[in-house]
Structure formats: C-alpha cells, structure tokens
Amino acid sequence: MKKYYMAAAHNVVRALDAGNIRFPIGKEELLAQVGNREVQIDFDRKISISEYCGNIKIDNFENKAQFFSALTAANTEEV
C-alpha cells in the first residue's frame, strides 16, 4: 500500500503557532511573520510557508478555516 505524508497541515499549524499568527489577518502580514519558516509537506520535501502559499488567490483570511481552505485550493490540481 502506498504511504502518504500526512503531517503537512499539522506542520503548518505549528508554524502559525510559533509565529503567533492570529486571525483575521492579511496574507502579506502572515507571510511577513512566518513566510520564511520551513514546513515539511512530503517525505522528501520541505518548503517555506511563502512558497507553500504562493498560489493563494486571496489577500485576506477572515479566520483559520479560510486560510486552510485557500491553502488547500492553491495546492490542488483541477480534475
């Protein structure tokens, strides 16, 4: 059975907490605070929060739900 790396969201939560991120927040401010932090998103891949958020299309996050929805959308390929 193929194994998947499942800790990406957890690692992002840890990075947000470490940067004392509170919502609501703008993308620019969020990236200024934690954009340089590296998060592991696969067994063999670490990227910066800035890179991970690179394709997010909105500029403000009303709450954590919106941030993670935007992050998921930005890293999901269209079917």
Partner 1 sequence: MNIGSTHALSGPFETEALSVVSVQFSPVSAQTTEDVETNVETICDFMNRAVGGFPGVDLIVTSEGALQGFGPDCKNVLLNYDGPEIRRLKDICKSLDVWGIFCPLFREYAGMKCANTCIMINNKGEIVHHYVKMNPWIPGETSCPGGECPTTLGPKGARIATIICADGDYPEMWRAAADGGANVIVRVSFDMSPWDKAWEITNKAMAYTTQCYVVTSNAVGLDEVYSYFGRSMILNPDGAIITEAPMGLPWMIKADLYPAIVDHTRTQYASNNFQWARRHRGASHPNLAGVGASVRAYGNESVR
Instruction: Please give the residue ranges that form the binding site for partner 1 (CB under 8 A).
Output: 9, 13, 16-17, 20, 22-24, 56-58, 61-74, 76-78
Residue nearer to partner 1 on the CB measure, 4 or 44:
4
Residue nearer to partner 1 on the CB measure, 14 or 45:
14
Residue nearer to partner 1 on the CB measure, 35 or 56:
56
- How far apart are CB 73 and partner 1 at their closest, in Å? 5
Residue 29: which residues within 8 A CB-CB, separation 6 or more?
A: none
Query: What distance in Å separates the CA atoms of residue 51 and residue 62, rounded to the nearest whole number?
Result: 21
Among 60, 62, 51, 52, residue whose Cα is nearest residue 24:
62
